[in-house]
Structure 1
Amino acid sequence: MTDWRGAWTAALDELELDVAQVEAMLADEHRNAETPPADLWRPPTELGALPLELKPRADEILTRQLRVAEEIARRLVSNRQQMAMTSRIETGEMVKRPVYVDCAM
Structure 2
Amino acid sequence: MSAQPPSAGDWHAAWSAALDALEMDVAAVEEMLSGDHRTQEVPAVTGAWTPPTDLGPLPLDLRPRADAILSRQLRVAQEMVLVMAGNRRQAAMIARVETGSDGAARPVYINCAA
Q: TM-score range by the shorter chain?
A: 0.7 to 0.9
The match for 1:13 is: 20
Q: Deviations over 1:51-99 (max 9, x none)?
A: 1111110000001111111111111100100111111122222385989
1:32 aligned to which of 41, 45, 56: 41
1:55 aligned to which of 45, 59, 63: 63
Q: Which amino acid aligns with 1:6?
A: A
Instruction: Supply the distance in 2 between the matched residues of 1:8 and 1:97 (Cα, whole angstroms).
Output: 60
Any unmatched runs of 5+ in structure 2?
1-7, 108-114
Larger Rg: 2
TM-score (norm 2): 0.74
Any unmatched runs of 5+ in structure 1?
100-105
Between the two proteins, what is the percent identity of the paired residues?
50
Instruction: Supply the distance in 2 between the matched residues of 1:95 and 1:12 (Cα, whole angstroms).
Output: 48
TM-score (norm 1): 0.80
Flag the 1:51–1:58 CA change in 2: closer, same or farther, 3 A: same
Report if the CA contact (8 A) 1:18-1:40 is conserved: no
